């Protein structure tokens, strides 16, 4: 099974988004962590089935529907899945 490598940028984004979620979504406080975990699991099992975002650089994204965040990722030279950004769907796509 592939490993997940979370970039420093994506780690900061995850931390901020998780903090916001816990402060503002009291009806489903566990939803953020559950969906991110499920997203990581999905992209490690079969990273090539999710839509391309930047074909030239091999960047893809998966939508975490319940929380409305995208995980932007690519498979690196070692075959691991590298998470580049965690971005809310209502925002313009990030510069990667």
Give pLDDT tens digits for 69-90. 999 999 999 999 999 999 998 8
Q: What are the residue ranges spanned by the domains of the chain?
A: 4-88
Radius of gyration of the chain (CA): 13
Question: Which residues, in sequence order, are bridge partners of residue 62?
Answer: 71
pTM: 0.91
Give pLDDT tens digits for 22-73. 999 888 889 999 999 999 999 999 999 999 999 889 999 999 999 999 999 9
Instruction: Please state which CATH class domain 4-88 belongs to.
Output: alpha beta
Q: Check: CB of residue 62 under 8 Å from CB of residue 70.
A: yes
């Amino acid at each position: 099974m592939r490993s997940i490598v979370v970039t420093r940028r994506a780690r900061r984004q995850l931390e901020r988004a998780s903090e916001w979620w816990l402060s503002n979504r009291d009806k489903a406080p566990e939803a953020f962590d559950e969906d991110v975990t499920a997203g990581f699991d999905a992209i490690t099992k079969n990273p090539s089935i999710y839509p391309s975002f930047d074909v030239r650089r091999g960047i893809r994204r998966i939508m975490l529907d319940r929380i409305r965040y995208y995980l932007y990722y690519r498979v690196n030279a070692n075959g691991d899945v590298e998470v580049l950004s965690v971005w809310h769907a209502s925002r313009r796509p990030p510069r990667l």
